[in-house]
Amino acid sequence: MRPKELTSRIFLDGGDPQETREIMDLLGFLDGQTTNPTLISKNPEARRRLERGERFSEDEILGFYRAVVEEISGMLPGGSISVEVYADPQTAAEQMLPQGKMMNGWIPNAHIKFPSSDQGFRAAEKAVKEGLRVNMTLCFRQEQAAAAYAATRGAKKGDVFVSPFVGRLDDWGENGMSLIENIIRMYREGDGHVEVLTASVRHLDHLLYAIKLGSDIITVPAGILREWGEKGLPMPGRDYTYNAGSLAPIPYRDPDLAKNWQDFDLSHELTTKGMEKFSADWKSLIR
């Protein structure tokens, strides 16, 4: 059962509905799920099909993704399911937006994931005006979170998530959790319409510290939720401290949330690399 002091919503980070069922049974609650092209490429049914040498056509893979999110949505009708558009570094906003609208039609509780890139923000700005809920993914710097705020000004709380990727920042030597601290601190100056979704969680301490910081949402792979569940859903106590080891802290910056999103420096090597990897994993499924 949900610990009563837990204020964050807990999502499963995965692309397999069977795992969703298992985690719901283990924890006794689940608030939503995030998917992405890499996670869909790891879905066991997709793997089996590829092992038989049968790749998908473009229509078939979209049909497969749709069936997966429909099944998950049926299990989590009151939650949110993030569905990601195809976006490589050359994909224009005009190509992302129609995909987002189509995916939004698959289920009633979708958040559409757009990359935290120039074209991704252009697409998201239009998408929220057309009534879509969005999740700005591949966020690696505070300015991208500021742009997520500015591009979606006027949207209501709950309709916009920003997903800072802590594990991938750790991987390249920066303390990803300090980006979560910085974004939460920055958003205190704002109107609260963007929710912070801690993503790329790699171990139980990422989860515990994100809870302690008050991240609105934390998306967590099944393996870590299993560990958390098996340990009895421990919560970070008053004296809990996060040990970032030798990872370099990311200093707080003070972007002005009143600016236009185009005025922020949005570039980050990991955002570009992330789009390259997601698009390559998606293409690996297609014949």
- Catalytic sites, residue numbers: 113
Q: Shortest Cβ distance from residue 98 to ligand E4P (Å)?
A: 22
Angle at 91 between CA 81 and CA 160, to 5 degrees: 30
End-to-end CA distance of the chain: 44
Q: Which of 80, 142, 215, 219 binds ligand E4P (CB under 6 A)?
A: 219
The residue behind tokens 């558009």 is: 85
Q: Which residue is nearest to ligand E4P (CB)?
A: 200
Q: Which is nearer to ligand E4P, 244 or 259 (CB)?
A: 244
The residue behind tokens 């799920």 is: 33
Q: Shortest Cβ distance from residue 86 to ligand E4P (Å)?
A: 14
The verdict on 86 binding ligand E4P (CB under 6 A) reads: no
The verdict on 104 binding ligand E4P (CB under 6 A) reads: no
Of the ranges 31-39, 40-48, 174-182, 207-215, which one interacts with ligand E4P (CB under 6 A)? Answer: 31-39
Q: Shortest Cβ distance from residue 197 to ligand E4P (Å)?
A: 7
Of the ranges 33-41, 54-62, 92-100, 139-147, which one interacts with ligand E4P (CB under 6 A)? Answer: 33-41
Tell which positions 34-63 bind ligand E4P, by CB under 6 A. 34, 36, 38
Could you tell me if 219 and 197 are in contact, meaning their C-beta atoms sit under 8 angstroms apart?
Answer: yes
With CB under 6 A, what is the number of residues at the site for ligand E4P? 13
| DSSP, residue by residue, 149-190 | HHHTTTPPTTSEEEEEBHHHHHHTTB-HHHHHHHHHHHHTTS
Q: Which of 137, 144, 152, 215 binds ligand E4P (CB under 6 A)?
A: 137
Tell which positions 179-218 bind ligand E4P, by CB under 6 A. 199-200
Q: Which of 145, 138, 76, 143 is nearest to 113 (CA)?
A: 138
Query: What letter does residue 136 receive in the DSSP assignment?
Result: E
User: What Cα–Cα distance (Å) separates residue 21 from each residue in 43, 72, 224?
Assistant: 14, 9, 15
> Who's near 184: CB < 8 A, 6+ residues apart?
196, 213, 214, 215
Of the ranges 52-60, 103-111, 141-149, 164-172, which one interacts with ligand E4P (CB under 6 A)? Answer: 164-172
Enter the tokens of residue 116: 């935290």
Q: In the complex, which residues of this chain contact ligand E4P (CB under 6 A)? A: 13, 34, 36, 38, 82, 137, 163, 165, 167-168, 199-200, 219
